[in-house]
Amino acid sequence: MNTPNLRDSIEEVLHTVHDPEIPVNIFDLGLVYEIKIGEGGHVQVVMTLTAPACPVAGEIIFEVKQKVEALEGVTDCHVQLTFDPPWTKDMMTEEAKLELGFL
């Protein structure tokens, strides 16, 4: 399995997941903190939400899980929700984008 290509595929599919309240994908919003690719195609996505009381949290998590698991080479996806550090609009800066690896 070529992990860099799988990582690219995961990032690409995460660009298609949108917060229904904000017309920007979760990746560009800075909501995805980490993507861990384990042996045997086990993927863990560590992410946050724009607010802890986000009414569509379940839908977003389900969509991430469903889309990542549909990728070739992925056997399962676990979405870990965290609020540490809490999301801020600053996470959408170029600095954050560079750190997340999509600049």
pLDDT of residue 1: 46
pLDDT of residue 50: 82
- What φ, ψ does residue 24 adopt, rounded to 5°? -135, 145
pTM confidence score? 0.84
The CATH architecture to which 3-100 belongs is 2-Layer Sandwich (3.30)
pLDDT of residue 45: 98
Q: Mean pLDDT, consecutive 10-residue segments, the chain of 103 residues?
A: 80 90 80 95 95 87 97 97 88 59 57
Question: Which class for 41: exposed (0-12), middle (13-18), buried (19 or more C-beta within 10 A)?
Answer: middle
Q: Which two tokens stand for residue 38?
A: 């384990």
pLDDT of residue 53: 85
